[in-house]
Structure 1
Amino acid sequence: MESHFQDYRLHKRPGSSKRLRGIQDNFLAYARDLRLNRLEDVDEAVIKGFFQWRLHKVDPRLKIKVKPQTALSELELLSGVFSAARKAKIIQDNPVSAVVPVLREAYPRREKTKYLEPEQVKAFVEAVEADRESGKIPDHYADLAILMLNSGMRVSATIHMESSWINCKNWTVEVPPEHDKAKIGYTAAVASGGWGVLQRRMGKGRLFPACTTAAMSYYHLRQLAKRHKIDFKGGSFNHALRHTLATSLVDAKIPIQTIAGQLGHRNLKTTQRYAQVRDQAKIQAVQDIHF
């Protein structure tokens, strides 16, 4: 059974492979308790049992019990192993794919998409510039925030951005495969608010110093939010800027396919959640009105 996991991990991105290794260790430990040694011996009852077994375990890093959403996301990764085995005709059916939809109904996914509302964006930009002037946020982290807000690029790609990626004729950025989560590469347009950052920082190499990190960007944005009382709604401060651009494009009635291309999404379902979140926000806004 372990060999199937190892073969499957070889084709995954480093981050996913590392997480899959943790899931593999947990599932194999559970399977050993049941004296199961082959994928063919795993059925839906085993998968359901593994899910409940995970809910009673304590996360060694967070020191809290594993939440249903975490266990479900682990099952979705685990499903890939069984799907690969089914395609290789090692097993006839994927028991995980049969169980996950049922569990999803019992434990609905909580929407984690966080963003700044349109009226908050202006306050955020003003706060960045004020803190830049006062020296409370380093210049390169201020520019990083403005660029993420105006491009919707992930922080991991933005901090590694090089001048050679930039097309000044139409203000677009070519994100190469090695800095794209999907490992394919995509083109991101930059809104006019970010053009000044590109112009100031363009040179021969990287736009931002090598010491620039996602963790420190998160720290500075968190401190800025506290100082200026800007509500990021509990989301990741870096990623909330990406979500802000996406929801703004949804509000502007831009087609989902276009938004997906801007964000580098390969699956329209990933992009569709922004439209769903905006619909939910409108419904909630109406429900909160008391005449």
Structure 2
Amino acid sequence: MSNKLKLTNTNVRALVTTGQDYKVWDTEVSGLHVRVTKAGSKSFAFFYRTADGRQRSIRIGKTTMTVTEARERARALRVQVDQGEDPSQERKGRLTAPTMADLWDAYLEQHAKPNKKPRSIAEDERLWRMHLSPRFAKEKVANVGVAEVRTMMSKMRDTPGAANRSFALLSMMFTFAIQNEWREINPCRAVKKYPENQIERYLSAEEAERLLASCDADENQTAARIVEFLVLTGARKSEVFSMEWQHLQGLSSDTPTWLIPSGQQKGERLKRKVFSRQLSPEAADLLRRWKRECPTPSVRYVFPSPRKPDQPVPCIKGAWDRIRRRANLNDVRIHDLRHSFASFAVNNGEPLYAVGGALGHKDVKTTQRYAHLTDETVRGVASGVGALVGSFRGR
């Protein structure tokens, strides 16, 4: 059954089921029709031909809307068609467009897992699960704009640290989306992060002395020697935990070399197959003594787990809290020992470039953040320049 009539609300309600699909066409707006299915469902739709002659039919909505509303929508669709558009395909594209959940899955598999370390991946997964997914998972990638990002930051204003980390992950996801042509602009670029106070803490010579004395007095000598080694080298905790005897060359000499494999490195150093760190005579002496005195010696790991010598030590949190508390240094973090190493070196007259090389920094700007100058060093620089300029008068 197929016929034409001037559609009204009354005659649309009067259309009956015939046991097969049929259409009733409106005589007022070309292409507008009511489709009645054999099950009795009724809906408005619009039929048109594209510029290249293909036939399309696009659903407008159920007959719960009025005929007047259906005609308005049909006329709007006709304008699009006359302008050369294909509204049916555009709607289909919107329905199948990738969501933020799709973007997250692609980012995780194609970028994070191939390029990030497991701990960083786990942090990304936590941020997505707790902060980003509830807000964005169902949104289309193309529809998330500056306003949505600002709303997220505003709602997280009471936790600025978490907000900034979530913001950073979201920005990386959008950068990935742009690289894969899912969208053209990163909306995060127009939004500012929350200011965070940079915690800069480093040990004075007297504090370092107290800390080392506390290490000697601690019952957990594995943790104590790790802390001492961190002070002596400025190494990262994760690097020291996983250090193996086979990676130490020339340990019997005063200046052995520690070869850190790429899998144990961080950041830009991942590009190096091996990072060579030169150790001081003091660090070498500590390792030699530890090799003789370790209560649970391991043929592989320098600092083995006391319970499982065939595995590296997993954590020293309890012992570290005890060591710093005994030294009255409750505000010092393990990472601050790395800051302290850089500060000791710079205040001892070592150039930033050399200190950065010892720490494994690619960019000297990173080293600058670690290197804290003491007042004495700054005064010494001022005095030296003052004396030099003063000498110019005698020339």
Q: Is 1:40 paired with 2:129? A: no
Contact 1:113–1:235 (8 Å) recurs in 2: no
* Contact 1:166 1:172 survives alignment (8 Å): yes
Contact kept in structure 2, 1:187 and 1:261, CA below 8 Å: no
3-state SS, counterpart of residue 116 of structure 1:
coil
Partner of 1:125: 212
Give 1:109's aligned residue.
Answer: 196
1:223 Cα deviation from its structure 2 partner: 1.4
Could you say which structure has the larger radius of gyration? 2
Aligned alpha-carbon RMSD (Å): 2.7
Match of 1:138 in 2: 220
Find the aligned partners of 1:198 and 1:172 in 2 and give their Cα distance.
12
Deviation at 1:262, TM superposition (A): 2.1
User: Do the aligned residues in 2 keep the contact of 1:156 with 1:214 (CA within 8 Å)?
Assistant: no
Q: Secondary structure at the match of 2:156?
A: helix
Note if contact 1:151-1:245 (Cα within 8 Å) is conserved in structure 2.
Answer: yes
SS in 1 for 2:277: strand
**Gapped regions of structure 1 (runs ≥ 5):** 56-65, 287-291
Structure 2 unmatched runs, 5+: 1-99, 292-297, 307-311, 380-395
- Rounded Cα–Cα distance in structure 1 between residues aligned with 2:146 and 2:155: 14
Task: Describe the shift of the 1:97–1:245 C-alpha distance in structure 2 as closer, same or farther (beyond 3 A).
Answer: same
| Residues in 1 aligned to 2:204 and 2:349: alpha-carbon distance in whole angstroms | 16
1:265 is aligned to 2:361: yes
Whether contact under 8 Å (2:324, 2:332) holds in the other structure is no
| 1:197 corresponds to 2:286 | yes
Give how far 1:222 is off.
Answer: 2.1
Pairwise CA distance, 1:273: 1.1
Task: Number of aligned residue pairs: give it.
Answer: 255
1:14 corresponds to which letter in structure 2? P
Aligned residue in 1 for 2:309: none
Q: Residues of 2 paired with 1:187 and 1:149: CA distance? A: 18
Counterpart pick for 1:226 among 307, 312, 325: 325
CA contact (8 A) 2:245 2:301 kept: yes
Letter in 1 for 2:303: F
Runs (4+) of structure 1 moved beyond 6 Å?
none
Distance 1:201 1:80, change over 3 A: same
Aligned mate of 1:29, from 123, 128, 134? 134
Offset of 1:43 from its aligned partner?
1.2
Q: Distance in 1 between matches of 2:275 and 2:195?
A: 32
**How far did 1:267 drift?**
4.2
Per-residue CA deviation, residues 73-94 of structure 1 (Å, 9 max, x unaligned), is: 2211221111111122221111
Change (3 A) 1:192 1:126: farther
Letter in 2 for 1:28: S
Post-superposition offset of 1:196: 1.5
Say if 1:92 and 1:268 are closer, same or farther in 2 by CA, change over 3 A.
Answer: farther
What is the distance in 1 between the residues matched to 2:173 and 2:349?
39
Instruction: Answer whether contact 1:152 1:241 (CA < 8 A) is retained.
Output: yes
**Alpha-carbon distance between aligned partners in 2 of 1:282 and 1:46, rounded to the nearest angstrom:** 47
CA contact (8 A) 1:146 1:193 kept: no
Q: Which residue of 1 aligns with 2:256?
A: 171
Write the distance in 2 (CA, Å) between the matches of 1:245 and 1:157: 16
Task: Report the 3-state secondary structure (helix = DSSP H, G, I; strand = E; otherwise coil) of the residue aligned with 1:265.
Answer: coil
Q: Which has the higher helix share?
A: 1
Measure, in 1, the Cα distance between the counterparts of 2:143 and 2:365.
33
The alignment status of 1:210 with 2:311, answered yes or no, reads no
Q: Which residue of 2 aligns with 1:87?
A: 179
Q: Which moved more, 1:200-209 or 1:151-160?
A: 200-209
Q: In the aligned structure 1, how far is the partner of 2:155 from the partner of 2:303?
A: 45
Shift in alpha-carbon separation, 1:156–1:97, aligned structure 2, 3 A = same
Deviation at 1:204, TM superposition (A): 4.1
- Partner letter of residue 138 of structure 1? N
> Any idea what the Cα deviations from partners look like across 1:46-88, whole Å, max 9, x if unmatched?
1110112233xxxxxxxxxx52122112211221111111122
Shift of 1:214: 5.3
Q: Does 1:274 align with 2:367?
A: no
**Structure 1 residues 89 and 171: CA distance shift in structure 2, 3 A:** same
The one-letter code matched in structure 1 to 2:222 is H
After superposition, the Cα gap between the structure-2 partners of 1:153 and 1:214, relative to the gap in structure 1 and judged at 3 Å, is: farther
Distance 1:210 1:255 in 2: 37
TM superposition shift of 1:3:
2.2
Aligned to 2:83: none
User: Counterpart in 2 of 1:54?
Assistant: 156
Larger strand fraction of residues: 2
- 2:351 maps to what in 1? 255
Secondary structure of the corresponding residue to residue 259 of structure 2: strand
Map of 2:384 onto structure 1: none
Secondary structure of 2:263's counterpart equals helix
**Contact 2:160/2:196, CA 8 A, preserved across alignment:** no
Confirm or deny that 1:153 pairs with 2:153: no
